[in-house]
Structure 1
């Protein structure tokens, strides 16, 4: 005689046969089909969220979870991810707040507001604009589109690695106790104001601009 018993929210299945007991962990999945106009509001703990379609104006709180998304869109998007890996193929609009998340990967970023704490964030391609804040973590930008508009970065007690665009741009960095490595192709003027060191340069005639505010951090700029 064989008995299968499912118990608990995250079930363990007990399998009994010929006097021997065995237990197996079972992973549950919930698949929901929704209209494209649906606005998501979710709170997920200890789970995985996969979004295959364009998701607009999503409101989400994730803890010890994982987010995999094709496209995130909508200027009302607000995602808080704690202890949760995030992987998005295309981020068009919205806010992302990560806490203690080791693997945050955004492939193509159109417009992003980011607040990251003790997180490792990688942006593969910045297309238009970013307002990025990173504290106690690492931020990596692997490429910036030639016709980007603005990149504003604030980093404290962290590390920034950024590959600069192959196009004219204005540049300013304000740093306190900052270790900086700069590409030879970027010519900068340097001045000091108390403990702060200010670097400026680039092409003043263009509207494209990069601004970095760094405190007690390492900054590497490549081209």
Structure 2
């Protein structure tokens, strides 16, 4: 198949040139159009980018990419623009859009060693007082993070710089501003005293970070062992504390690994904003692979993975989507399979003919319509209403809390539960209705209103 590479339309604007009291801003724009089928597949692979998608009455995909940088010189901005990995390729059936970070600030490629990299990681304060002896249920809680692997790139400069044969390196702090662009320069730098200083500094940073995380892990482990030796039982509390500890540990990983658009380099604040504005036919579908992006979709079908950032969609009318560590807002979920992992704030207005799986997430559903299955693990689930004839509703809970509000909607209930605190506030069930709620659960609490 034939592809047409994007043509860039570049606009470079400098703000604040008259006075030095304002930071300079520079921006650049790319634009590309593709004639497509009405059901074209749009593949988006992006990081640290705001992504806005809208539909129009054309069999055409229009891609506009914007990048704005503030707090650097004109020469530095132009260098960033040249290295920004934006690409648009397409034909009638498929359009591929790539928008990843420029290597000039990318930690895994052209490494920038900043003078404010202190890795001040706070150990979570977890209250294990008065937690009594208990046979703890099997839990998906991994104490064995590979801390050395998490921070390996902080010490192994050689592996990082020589990766893929790029030999790109940039070290800048109060005393140094060293830039390497090829293998010859890198080999020469390795023979200098500065190389040894940097190697030692990064080794110390790694050791500090690893110690902090290991202290947190040991504290949790010791507290659990202590709790097993006590005399009384408080099952609900220990499960809640363990879930909280899991989230704390995961959050520490996120805070270290998450990409950011704001940097402080040698005391100067640098801001980078990247945005994609995409227009597609109304029957287009999406294949997403985004990291640290603000994603906004119209009425569409979506597949793929969304990690970090935020996710907002009007109507998802099919697909299979995994969302991790990103607040979620969806107006209508229909004929979908959706997995939410560590999503602390998810709101879905309407759910129909859908399978929804949640792990360590807080989910609010305004209305359940029909043919819905929910699986929740170590999370909180709130359903505010049900359609009058919702049919069969399947609910599976593991170490979770659920609140279901039926109002005047009649229903019958079937329970298969183990160690579940059940509070059914409905005085009676209507045996003449075709609405059936099937609950399977363990170590959970359910309130039915």
* Shorter-chain TM-score range: 0.7 to 0.9
Matched, 1:186 2:427: yes
Identify unmatched segments of 5+ residues in structure 2.
Answer: 1-16, 18-23, 25-72, 85-100, 106-260
Superposition map of 1:1-223 within 5 A: 3-4=73-74, 5-6=76-77, 7=80, 9=101, 22-51=268-297, 53-56=298-301, 58-74=302-318, 77-183=319-425, 185-187=426-428, 202-222=429-449
CA contact (8 A) 1:146 1:165 kept: no
What is the TM-score of this pair, normalised by structure 2? 0.42
* Structure whose residues are more often helix by fraction: 2
What is the TM-score of this pair, normalised by structure 1? 0.81
Q: SS where residue 33 of structure 1 aligns? A: strand
Residues in 2 aligned to 1:50 and 1:148: alpha-carbon distance in whole angstroms:
29
Q: Where has structure 1 moved over 3 Å in runs of 4 or more?
A: 10-14
* Structure whose residues are more often strand by fraction: 1
Higher relative contact order (CA 8 A, sep 6+): 2
Change (3 A) 1:79 1:23: same
Q: Who wins on radius of gyration, i.e. which is larger? A: 2
Identify unmatched segments of 5+ residues in structure 1.
Answer: 15-19, 188-201
Q: How many residues align?
A: 200
CA contact (8 A) 1:128 1:149 kept: yes
- Following superposition, the deviation at residue 83 of structure 1 comes to 0.9
CA contact (8 A) 1:145 1:165 kept: no
